[in-house]
Amino acid sequence: MSTTTRQDTGVAPGGEQRARSGAVTHAKPPRSGMLLSLLAWVVGLLFALPVFWMVLTSFHSEADAATNPPSVFAPLSLEGYRTFFGSDPWPALLNSLTASVLSTVLVLVLAFPAAYALSIRPVRKWTDVMFFFLSTKMLPVVAGILPLYLFAQKAHLLDNIWWLILLYTTMNLPIAVWMLRSFLAEVSVEMLEAAEVDGASLSRTLREIVAPVVMPGIASAALICFIFSWNELLLARVLTSTVAATSPVYLTGFVTSQGLFLAKVCAASLVVSLPVLAAGFAAQDKLVQGLSMGAVK
Amino acid sequence: MSTTATQTAPPTRSRKRGPKSLNAGQGRRGVLLVTPTLILLAVVIMYPLVRAVIMSFQKDSGLDPATGMFSEGGFAGTQNYQHWLLQQCAAAGGTTQPCPPGTLGSQFYDALFVTLFFTVVTVFFEIGLGLWFATIMNRTFKGRGLVRAAILIPWAIPTAVTAKLWFFIFAYEGIANKLLGGVGIKPLLWTGDAWPARFAVIIADVWKTTPFMALLILAGLQLISSDVYEAAQIDGASKWQTFTRITLPLIKVPLMVAILFRTLDVLRIYDLPAILTNGGGGSGHATTTLSILVINQIRAGFNSASALSTLVFLLIAFVAFIFVRFLGADVVQRPPGKEAAKRRWFRRQPVAAEGE
């Protein structure tokens, strides 16, 4: 519980801020709102600033990118992007897309029935099952990476995208089951019972009663699995080389060869981040909801 | 986790859970639905773990330093563990000697220290700042959705990108040194010297994860009914009392879960120090975490790498155990904890209890 006492210092200013703005509220309501908005905006900006810098730099020529402080108004250039796409990143981007999308689909196909069995119609000992899922989150990837490598070597699965897909599926399964179970717990039992009385089959019950209620849950689980798979580096780095390399692996390679060229590296980083940024931005509400339901990472 | 308990179970719904549990034990069909997932997890996660433990008791094949002959390996007993824990390296004549400085073996305790140091410091800052941000964002203000989206960016972008981004910021002629120069501090060798390199990793990690922690905590905060705060205000509670007596107890479970997961995550940290500082800094391994050491050791010998990875696993399992043991079963055992936790919440929460 030391955390509770420790964070005091961190929280005190916020409390003060609230106290002050609360006191002001009665006198001049608009101003307190502005102060608070301003503080929140400053915090948000502070966190987004390095990313803005990266975006800006990626559109500059190498000469302008190298200046410090950054030359904000330098003429824009696509030089960085041209170099990056000229280095043929398409196989890596395509590999990442394949691995992320397919593993996400597999996760959902496996996790949904499991979560259903564990929530709406709990099987016996289901708490043990949930705990087992959770415990797999405690395993360090490095503890298993060597046997995974040796097995892949023997089975000729090294540098094979399907091996990565299988591993990503396993990696994300426990999270997805936890999250989907939380959403499924919200399904109305009355409706399920009504369906049973009407003699609806299991698959029909799933499709027509359960799925619509938990669609947001499915969406957020899918999004999170996609982001985790897309960003994964350690497994991909060890288990792939040229054929099945994913975009983070390609990026680290690109950085090694072009590391001194700021604009090129920023452009490459941005392209690799774009799919997850787009996904996250489009569905940030669902993302937060899903993550707090699964309470992971 | 009990997050859901607080999250998704407003008092009015609790009645519904009664009939649901009557359906418990649907038997074979339910088991059938869970089995594929269980099998996949057991095979893909348990197999490597068991294999790693077996390997950790084998000798690495290679040139025997004692005889200069190729040795096949074979059973090694606890030799690989002694290598790491007691710092015993193989020496001529089939004996062992303390590992000379500079070898991977001698880096074990440094890596352990660095890993624990990163864990304590980053989790401390992420929770503190995360709580602060969450309380700010819990108030409505213009453009809240946009701010929330903006602070999710650091979390969503790949760690490889984060590491490279901060590498540029911490370059000798980079922005960080420019800012320090502005307040009259001499430029630091951020990725070269031991302590600056460690703090560079910590700053980058806190930047990446704090917003995310804030959003998790925010989700918990938003479930606290404003009635509770109004009641506290009527009773004349100070802002500070309100925070420590109402807010903190009500978000205890989500907060603990967040801390548990972050802790387990930082204990496994690999990408960020590996790319940002290449595990280096100072004497050459100032930011080498246990995970980086395992990866480095794989090139030098599979079986002693397995012993090391098993030690890492034991450490993480131990920390997880401590958490669960001392912070309450709520954290892991959502299911039975669920009802119990809920009942406890409402007992502590006078207004909601009246409503029940």
- Please give the residue that has the higher pLDDT: either A9 or B285: B285
Cross-strand pairs, B63: B70
Spatial distance between the Cα atoms of A177 and A123, rounded to a whole number of angstroms: 14
Q: Which of B2, B26, B33 to mutate to test the interface with A (most CBs of A within 10 A)?
A: B33
Contacts of B220 in chain A (CB under 8 A): 292
pLDDT of residue B69: 57
pLDDT of residue A162: 93
Total Cβ atoms within 10 A of residue B259: 20
pLDDT of residue A18: 41
Total Cβ atoms within 10 A of residue B146: 13
- Average pLDDT for residues B38-62, to the nearest whole number? 83
Q: Does A24 touch chain B (CB under 8 A)?
A: no
pLDDT of residue B23: 45
Tokens of A146: 């060597």
Top CATH class of B106-328 equals mainly alpha
pLDDT of residue A13: 40
**pLDDT-derived band at B94, boundaries 50, 70, 90:** low
What is the pLDDT tens value at each position of chain A, 297 positions in all? 333 333 333 333 434 344 434 433 333 334 446 777 787 788 778 888 888 888 888 888 877 777 666 667 777 788 888 888 888 889 999 999 999 999 999 999 999 888 888 876 666 667 677 777 777 766 777 778 888 888 898 998 888 999 999 999 998 888 888 778 877 777 777 777 888 888 888 888 878 877 777 777 888 888 888 988 998 888 898 898 888 889 888 888 887 777 667 888 888 888 988 888 887 777 766 766 666 665 443
A70: region left, alpha or beta (phi > 0 left; psi from -120 to 50 alpha)? beta
Phi then psi for B47, rounded to 5 degrees? -60, -50
- Average pLDDT for residues B225-230, to the nearest whole number? 81
**Of the partner residues A185, A188, A262, the one whose CB lies closest to the CB of residue B168:** A262
What percent of chain B has a predicted confidence (pLDDT) above 90? 6
Distances (CA, A) of B133 to A9, A293, B4: 13, 20, 22
**Of the partner residues B37, B147, B211, the one whose CB lies closest to the CB of residue A41:** B147
- Pairing status of strand B96-98 against strand B88-90: antiparallel
- Average pLDDT for residues B249-255, to the nearest whole number? 78
pLDDT in tens, B293-343: 888 888 777 888 888 888 888 888 888 888 777 765 454 444 433 444 333
pLDDT of residue B340: 40
Q: Does B48 touch chain A (CB under 8 A)?
A: yes
What SS3 string covers A152-170? HHHCCCCCCHHHHHHHHHH
pLDDT of residue A94: 93
Spatial distance between the Cα atoms of B98 and B131, rounded to a whole number of angstroms: 46
| Contact across the interface for B24 and A54, Cβ inside 8 Å | no
pLDDT of residue A7: 36
Q: Which of residues 152 through 171 in chain A touch B, CB cutoff 8 A?
A: 166-167, 169-170
Spatial distance between the Cα atoms of A273 and A265, rounded to a whole number of angstroms: 12
Spatial distance between the Cα atoms of B63 and B67, rounded to a whole number of angstroms: 8
Total Cβ atoms within 10 A of residue B300: 13
pLDDT of residue A25: 36
| Å between B89 CA and nearest CA of chain A | 22
- Average pLDDT for residues B180-193, to the nearest whole number? 76
pLDDT of residue B120: 94
Spatial distance between the Cα atoms of A219 and A183, rounded to a whole number of angstroms: 11
Degrees to nearest 5, angle at CA B72 with B66 and B78: 75
Domain range list for chain B: 106-328
**Of the partner residues A143, A169, A238, the one whose CB lies closest to the CB of residue B52:** A143
Whether the per-residue pLDDT at B345 is higher than 90: the answer is no
- Pairing status of strand B62-63 against strand B70-71: antiparallel
Contacts of B142 in chain A (CB under 8 A): 33, 37
